[in-house]
Amino acid sequence: MLTTVYSTSLRNSTAGVAPAAQAHQAMAHGIATAFIVVAAFLAAVNLVAILALNVRKPAAAV
């Protein structure tokens, strides 16, 4: 998943910048975008885990 996000963000390059600066900017943008996607994914996983573990068992019949 990270590779897909990273490579997609690398395709959107900046225009009118020196090639070296463009490469640095593209790498920083790709890494930052992948990090944001992973952070959102982990937040969703944590939410599901909290909701799944918070389910209460029904009271036993006496």
Break the chain into its structural domains and give their ranges: 1-11+29-53
For the stretch 13-59, pLDDT in tens is 566 778 888 888 888 888 888 899 999 999 999 999 999 887 777 77
In 3-state terms, what secondary structure has residue 55? Answer: coil
Global pTM?
0.61
pLDDT classification of 2: cutoffs 50, 70, 90: low
